[in-house]
Amino acid sequence: MLIKFFNDPERLWKLVTLLTSGVGTTCAIFALTLLLSAPLGILAALARMSKHTAVRGPVIFYIYIMRSTPLMLQIVCFYYLLPQLLPFRANPFGTVIFAFVINYAAYFAEIFRGGIQAIPVGQREAGHVLGYERTQVFMRIILPQAIKNVMPAVTNEVITLVKDTALASTVAITEIMIIAKQQVSVSSSVEPFLLAMILYMILNGIAGQFCKLAEKRLGYY
């Protein structure tokens, strides 16, 4: 493919402007997925560790499905399936967020489960001796330490999430990747893909730095 942008500053700037117009959607998918899937993952982890089979069994099955099938396939299935099940018209962006959230919640559930189970039993017993109730022991003693322990794994998921936002293009959500595809099709040049790659690298660098700051703040545990 011919070089059509890198040797023409004006066209290159227009291309950069077009691609950055999709950054907002990419960041929205990233932020909403992270904010919703992490708490849901903690709840799923607790249900996964439940002593009651009626609670634990469905969660194990849900996690198995989410981790055993591609996210792209889940997005497409929900995109076409939800309108058939819901009494109202499903918004494409909302459908994408739903697919991302339940997918990442399954991965977070296993990560947090490992972190919670790694906390020594003595920590719980010490909390009860101090007069804390079960919920207080979990929220004030167990969960902060568990989050600190799983931060490296969470960071990996965060970086993967930044890249996975490109899968929203499979259902025509206007984000960085779909704009890059359109420009490649129009220009017959691979340069839009190269610029999209740079944008994803920048976003991943920013997300990685936030994760490092969070890990540093949790370092006192």
pLDDT, residue 2, reads: 61
The widest CA-to-CA distance across the chain, in whole angstroms, is 72
> So what's the pLDDT on residue 174?
87
pLDDT at residue 162, rounded to an integer:
95
Whole-angstrom distance, CA of residue 56 vs CA of residue 121:
21
Tokens 């099940």 correspond to 85
Integer Cα distance of 189 and 148 in angstroms: 45
**Whole-model pTM above 0.85?**
yes
Q: What is the pLDDT of residue 97?
A: 94
C-alpha to C-alpha distance for 204 and 163, rounded to whole angstroms: 8
pLDDT at 23: 93
Tens-of-pLDDT digits for all 221 residues of the chain? 567 777 778 888 888 899 999 999 999 999 999 999 999 999 999 999 999 999 999 999 999 999 999 999 999 988 888 777 777 677 889 889 999 999 999 999 999 999 988 888 887 777 777 777 888 888 888 888 888 889 999 999 999 999 999 999 888 888 999 999 999 888 888 899 999 999 999 999 999 999 988 888 877 65
Length reported for the chain: 221
Residue 85 burial (C-beta neighbours within 10 Å; 0-12, 13-18, 19+): exposed
Cα–Cα distance list, 43 to 18, 38, 46, 167, 215 (Å):
39, 9, 5, 26, 22
